Amino acid sequence: MVTLNFTFTPEAASKVHDILVCLAKFSDSVSIEARRDRLTFTALNSSKSAYASFALEGNKFFSQYECLPGNGGAEGRFTCSMYSKALLSVFKGRLDDARGKDTAIDHCDVSVQDRPDQTECRFVIKMVCKQGVTKTYKLTYESVEVMHALFDKNMANNKWSIQSALLKEYIEYFSPKTEQLDIYAEDSRVIFTSYTEKIMSGKEILKHPLHTAVAVNTSDFREFSAQEKMHIIISVKDFKAIVIHADTLKTNLKAYYSYPTRPLQFSYASDGMYCEFTLMTAGDHSEVPTPSATVMPTRASTRVQSAVSERSGSRNERLEMPPPTVPASRASTRRVRNPSLAKRAPSSRPADPDPESLFIPADEEDNRWDPVNYRNDEETLGWDASADDGIGIHPTFRDSGSLTRSESQDSAEALPPTQRISQIQGLW
């Protein structure tokens, strides 16, 4: 039995939306861990090569926070997992939009109904709107053990920090179809290269996505202290998800890593929110002396074909879930805060979940010259089959372990309409 009640301001609810959008890019299900002093949202991708965590401080992020775990004393916790799209449909974008004054929410109450004497266990979210409207969402959840990826910052002798806005600018140059991101430093320059390693021949070669290298000076970084001539390779999709979220907070993003094939961590913090991403890396460090005593087999970075399939074996071993306790070192780093960022105005700009739109948007003037896409023009049909609405009404569980991301996306698109068109024919 657990007591968990908390209240958000509209600004915080909007931030929760941004968090969920980001987590949804890693996994279908989001895990929630509540402790006495903080609430943590986490996600682990299906290949266990990327882990994302957002810790929200109880007395800072929330306007009211109360968590009394049933057992375990001070270290006790309540954990559960939920379908991320179900939560996303509750925390829609623009919750704090000033333009929608009449429909804007006043605050958001969340409680967990987990009493043995009640028939239903539900995660209850109440959106208390202006004009006396209250929307109540009762979501089912799965009770799971939440695990965290371990990352030893002491081992990470390479670190840098940079404004998220700059990284956002860089990722806009990348082709949306690329898979890998190579981070490489040389001669006071850092080169971010987005590319896809695929062997293609003949005409197929022309379908190869753009290979993009963005070279920037290390002086554009807030801080840069990392080994040169070392290729660190991560998934460009993960990187984009992180940068886009970090940019909603207009904060500085920090990177910590040791050497290729060891985990890399991105972290940033803002206003009682601590975001950490632990990613597995590939790459080549044969040119540099190994910074630790461990001898790692040299991987030929240029021959990484399918990042996930080839590396998944070793990744699983390394990122295999450690014991679900937060080490003392990790807990203490969370307290480090940048006071200058504390009073930043919340961003009202919703993160765009469409990965296609990451590229520089075409200027509107030019857009009108594009041929009209008649196929998507369903204006005469008048119903929206977007996954959000459908899932909002049928919240459901997904076992992320057995479903790949793409599979579940398909299933979401295949959701039937909630109402037959024939039933509402009278409207026309």
Q: List residues binding other proteins (CB under 8 A).
A: 163, 165-166, 169-170, 172-173, 175, 187-189, 191, 193, 203, 205-217, 219-220, 222-223, 252, 359-360, 362, 366, 368-372, 374-375, 377-378, 380-381, 416-417, 420-422, 425
Shorter beta-carbon distance to other proteins: residue 131 or 422: 422
Report angle CA 85, 358, 149 to the nearest 5 degrees.
Answer: 55
Q: Closest Cα to residue 78, out of 61, 48, 58?
A: 58
Count of Cβ atoms closer than 10 Å to residue 41 Cβ: 23
Shorter beta-carbon distance to other proteins: residue 104 or 166: 166
Shorter beta-carbon distance to other proteins: residue 193 or 267: 193
How far apart, in whole angstroms, are the C-alpha atoms of residue 244 and residue 350? 10
Closest distance of CB 151 from other proteins, Å:
25
- Structure letter (DSSP) for residue 404: -
Determine contact, residues 77/134, Cβ cutoff 8 Å: no
Determine contact, residues 238/315, Cβ cutoff 8 Å: no
- HSE-up of residue 166 (Cα within 13 Å, Cβ side): 17
Closest distance of CB 270 from other proteins, Å:
14
Closest distance of CB 18 from other proteins, Å:
21
Closest distance of CB 378 from other proteins, Å:
7
Shorter beta-carbon distance to other proteins: residue 221 or 257: 221
Closest distance of CB 363 from other proteins, Å:
8
Shorter beta-carbon distance to other proteins: residue 109 or 172: 172
Determine contact, residues 11/61, Cβ cutoff 8 Å: no
Q: Closest Cα to residue 333, out of 280, 281, 265?
A: 265
Shorter beta-carbon distance to other proteins: residue 71 or 428: 428
Closest distance of CB 206 from other proteins, Å:
4
Residue 128 host element (H or E):
strand 122-129
